[in-house]
Structure 1
Amino acid sequence: MSAIRTPCAATAAVLVLHGGSADSTEPVGPFSLAALRLLPVARAIARADRNAAVYRLRNAVKGWNGDGATVLADARAAVDAIAATHPDLPVVLVGHSLGGRVAVHLARSAGPDAAGPVVGVVGLAPWLEPGDPVEGLTRVPLAVVQGTNDRMIPTRSTEPWLDRAARAGVRLRRIVVDGGEHTMLRHYRRWHRDCVDGVRWVLATAAAAAAIPPGRAGSAGPRR
């Protein structure tokens, strides 16, 4: 895990998770395109909010590999490390593609009543299988940003899961980038802006649910 920005008086923390593939035990190298693709996203979040501690994770392996055990363990360890460095701060997970799936699975036990610091998720072109569970997400805001020209994970492929999540009471915010593709290179400024807006919405929604006094709120969002 690498730090993009770690302000002394941080009001929130953001962990950025990169994409990958369904099946691969190949290590993720420092020059992996999937990992590097999220560097501009992480920097955009850090620029937009100077009070947010922003971190970027590089997974041990490229694939989900059946049950996602390895990539989930990587993300869980990163969240624990952030919580140790920034006690009591809300953590937002931002995940692209496979990273979106990791974020959603990791957040299932999160929420204002849970012990963990994760308060919500921003999924960028997230990989969401129809059978993925939605239980445990009703208190976790989820912002989803997708592109109309995404051929790797078309918006229609995520509809079954998103519909189930909505029926289960998950608080969803859906944004579509017209002409956006899976790589997030085309219309990248729009992707970055919508991602930042998603982070802010997650923090505000989580704070409202937790009934945190407005006077404690920072520009990135309130403390928990």
Structure 2
Amino acid sequence: MSNHRRGAGHRALDLPEPGFGSGARAGAGAAGVVLLLHGGRADSFDPPTATNLAGLRMRPFARALRGDARTADVLVGFVRYRVRGWNGERADPAADARQALAGVEEAVGPLPVVLLGHSMGARAALRVADDRHVRGVVALAPWCPPGEPVAQLAGRTVVALHDEADAMTSAGDTWTYLRRAEKAGARVRGIRMPAGRHAMLRGSGLWHRLATDSAAEILDLPVPPGTPTGRPGWGAGPVDPADLRASLG
């Protein structure tokens, strides 16, 4: 067993000064917060580096959110991890996400939050969705191993985007997880992506657009006239992989 200890004084929330990149000022008038959580490794106590590809992969999603008319008054931030790994029962990134959520309320007040996570970051986001300010989770190619808890998702919205050609995390596990989450009281939507695999590089524009659409939908933000969207819509009843589809509109 590792003797690695949780770093004292770690600042898990990276939230630019309110107003930077949005129309909000000091939280007043902000429509909500979207926190991005990047991927990582199953096991690692190494700290993420500034050039960590998993972290850089989320930057275009932040730009898409900041550049969309619907989310102009949404604060966009990041969860900073102490270490790169999930590390078994420690679930280190979930602990960091909890700390970041507490930091949001301290910084800007009780705003509604959407968690937008990729891979391990999506797993962490789903784990902490029971926070009282979290409205829902947008999970990109999530890591949802069998037996992952779902009770915490009751009353939340979960949108999962996954390419079934992903060789790193299982889309089948994602669809199974969504069915379980729905039975636990979550409002769910699965979107089968036509390309991108795990890194979300091919067809990245669609990933960015659907993630932004989903976050705006969860926050119940109005759509300005003439705004193009790829909003997938919300299905009724149990999620069935045979019925999942990616919206290309």
Structure 1 length as normaliser, TM-score? 0.84
Shift of 1:132: 0.8
Give the number of equivalent residue pairs.
202
Q: Report which stretch shifted further, 191-200 or 79-88.
A: 79-88
Q: Given the superposition, is the C-alpha separation of residues 168 and 57 from structure 1 closer, same or farther in structure 2, using an over 3 Å criterion?
A: closer
Selected match of 1:133 from 143, 149, 155: 149
Matched residue SS, 2:145: coil
Q: Is 1:2–2:14 an aligned residue pair?
A: yes
Poorly superposed stretches of 4+, deviation over 3 Å = 3-6, 217-220
Matched residue SS, 2:152: coil
Q: Is 1:79–2:91 an aligned residue pair?
A: no
Selected match of 1:197 from 201, 205, 213: 213
Q: Is 1:21–2:41 an aligned residue pair?
A: yes
Query: Hey, what does 1:42 align to over in structure 2?
Result: 62
Structure having the higher Rg: 2
Q: Is the 8 A contact 2:157 2:218 kept in 1?
A: yes
Q: Given the superposition, is the C-alpha separation of residues 99 and 141 from structure 1 closer, same or farther in structure 2, using an over 3 Å criterion?
A: same
Selected match of 1:149 from 143, 165, 183: 165
Selected match of 1:100 from 86, 98, 122: 122
Amino acid at match of 1:121: V
Amino acid at match of 1:83: E
Selected match of 1:185 from 196, 201, 204: 201
Matched residue SS, 2:169: coil
Shift of 1:68: 4.0
Shift of 1:167: 2.4
Shift of 1:181: 1.2
Cα distance in 2 for partners of 1:94, 1:154 equals 18
Q: Report which stretch shifted further, 34-43 or 3-12.
A: 3-12
Selected match of 2:82 from 60, 71, 79: 60
Q: Deviations over 1:181-220 (max 9, x none)?
A: 111111010000010111022222xxxxxxxxxxxx6669
Structure 2 length as normaliser, TM-score? 0.76
Cα distance in 1 for partners of 2:91, 2:168 equals 23
Q: Is the 8 A contact 1:148 1:180 kept in 2?
A: no
Amino acid at match of 2:86: W
Matched residue SS, 2:67: helix
- Unaligned runs of 5+ residues in structure 2 are 1-12, 225-249
Q: Is the 8 A contact 2:44 2:87 kept in 1?
A: yes
Cα distance in 2 for partners of 1:130, 1:173 equals 19
- The structure in which a higher percent of residues are helix is 1
Q: Is the 8 A contact 1:11 1:218 kept in 2?
A: no
Cα distance in 2 for partners of 1:70, 1:164 equals 24
Q: Deviations over 1:59-81 (max 9, x none)?
A: 11111101244212211111111
Cα distance in 1 for partners of 2:92, 2:111 equals 25
Q: Is the 8 A contact 2:160 2:174 kept in 1?
A: no
Q: Given the superposition, is the C-alpha separation of residues 168 and 47 from structure 1 closer, same or farther in structure 2, using an over 3 Å criterion?
A: same
